[in-house]
Amino acid sequence: MLDAVVIAAAKEEGGGSFLVQPDLGLMVWTLLVFAISGYLLKKYAFPQIAEALDKRQRVIEDSLETAAKTRTEAETLLEEYRERLAAAREQAEAILARSRKAAETSEKETLAEAKERREELLAQTKREIEAETRRAIQDIRNEVADLTILATEKITRKTLTEADQRKLVEETLAELDFSSLAGEGSKN
């Protein structure tokens, strides 16, 4: 029904077919306006549009070149950083190796010094023990000599001359074995 109303309205207005039947005057004016619009666009608008597009293209190309330069520089810097990092690691490893070697050398030297000091103390202690042993043996000899003289005087009830005393002491000491006393002292 709606279609019937539209067709009826079109018939009342005088046919409404001006779009279907071209009017020569309207066509000429349309072509003339189109040609003037085309000329004005070509003369004034298109050059500015083309210039704006060229500017935009140059900006984009410059941006791409800058980005490429920046990327190249970044890659160069990254490579340089990696080389420096590798060199720093090598230096750190070399320093650690030198430190370990120095520590080992220091430890060996300290151990050698401690061993040498211990040996010196042991030797000194042995010398002191031997000296004390000799002193003790000498004291024992003197005591034995004194006791021998006293015993002899008591047994014989006479006083011995100095020559007799010396002879008696030497004989007694010769009979005693003091080397066993010295051997026991040096073993300790």
At 36-89, the pLDDT tens digits run 999 999 999 999 999 999 999 999 999 999 999 999 999 999 999 999 999 999
**pLDDT score of 188:** 43
Assessment of whether the complete model's pTM goes beyond 0.75: no
DSSP symbols for 127-165: HHHHHHHHHHHHHHHHHHHHHHHHHHHHHHTSPPPHHHH
